[in-house]
Structure 1
């Protein structure tokens, strides 16, 4: 597989509630099947909706993470404190519990992606790499600490920079989040690393 260069992006305010199956952060998820809102393993409360990301074939990957104060383990891909729900045709991993809730806590209002150019300053190659971008075939994550890809054949859906999101998220100090799609396209994983 040829490695492609990611295109950096920011999220800008939408004109209102986004109800289409498009990439966005904030607002409420657009359910393509029955609602599957993840619950925190530790507290049992609904996780916070961070965003949804368009996949091939008209599918969506909806990202949730436990919020509302510090909940330990949100960085772990299988800790039960975050979830990447794939619709339609996805499956919920055994470490995630969901309820049939159409709406719930959100990280903030709807924002849509806008691609931006690469930084034009001189310096080390690492300084010019984008830290927030959409994944896809041939797009590799930029790791802060070291490769934590969930397994062979897992593909990056999105990489999110906590400092570039339009609302606060707890990815630790200067953290970056990484969402992945399983090789069969039916399950998601999310994790974050910080400096």
Structure 2
């Protein structure tokens, strides 16, 4: 079975990976300013954070990346879209840990620690162009999607609503991770997933989008 390396499943409740978590309050590895939604101007809700882990998650020169989205109940901000300003993926350089800025009024998501477990996926099947695929390739895609880890770092994104690979600076952005709504209770539509990407030309730029099931 073909795989892209590194590829690690994100295990809810796992241990041994400091700064890997979903929900609760962000645990800063440096100076983090809480982001505001560009569409409605309110503080976003914290979703998850991933640390730089050599040979697993390459975020260098950053210590961690923090992901937020707008969940203002009084607006309809396009939080699932990567460029509308209603979500944010913020890398933080190593330094004095601190969080500054206004917090949202909503209750934080329940906190979960994350562990990393080695896994595999059929990346050839997951990468097929559905517009040109044979019936056998589509069947292999269905099997690969069922077998692939729902939350992971590395590999290729497992889309719920069609290929949405991001471009940044005229090139395909590098896929970093995906996080499933469940079991964490994250609001990505109907049991959806969130996808984190990084620009290849400007590595300080991270982008996030989500899809509902």
TM-score, with structure 2 as normaliser: 0.67
Matched position secondary structure for 1:124: helix
> In the alignment, which residue of structure 2 is the partner of 1:158?
177
Deviation digits for residues 2-25 of structure 1 (CA, Å, limit 9, x no counterpart): 7347333332187xxxxx962211
Relative to structure 1, is the Cα distance of residues 192 and 51 closer, same or farther in structure 2, using a 3 angstrom cutoff? same
Q: Which structure 2 residue ranges, 5 or more long, are not aligned?
A: 53-57, 122-141
Q: Determine which structure has more spread, i.e. the larger CA radius of gyration.
A: 2
CA displacement at 1:177 relative to structure 2: 0.8
2:212 is aligned with 1:194: yes
TM-score, with structure 1 as normaliser: 0.73
> In the alignment, which residue of structure 2 is the partner of 1:95?
none
Matches within 5 A, 1:1-195: 3-4=4-5, 6-12=7-13, 22-55=19-52, 56=58, 57=60, 59-69=63-73, 71-88=76-93, 100-101=100-101, 106-115=108-117, 124-135=143-154, 139-151=155-167, 152-165=171-184, 168-183=185-200, 184-195=202-213
CA displacement at 1:80 relative to structure 2: 1.1
CA displacement at 1:47 relative to structure 2: 0.5
CA displacement at 1:48 relative to structure 2: 0.7
RMSD: 3.1
Work out the CA distance in 2 between the residues paired with 1:37 and 1:118: 35
CA displacement at 1:116 relative to structure 2: 7.4
CA displacement at 1:194 relative to structure 2: 1.8
Work out the CA distance in 2 between the residues paired with 1:131 and 1:13: 15
Report which of the two has the higher share of helix: 2
CA displacement at 1:44 relative to structure 2: 1.8
Deviation digits for residues 102-121 of structure 1 (CA, Å, limit 9, x no counterpart): 866632224233537679xx
Deviation digits for residues 109-156 of structure 1 (CA, Å, limit 9, x no counterpart): 24233537679xxx8333212221113xxx211112222222124222
CA contact (8 A) 1:171 1:192 kept: yes
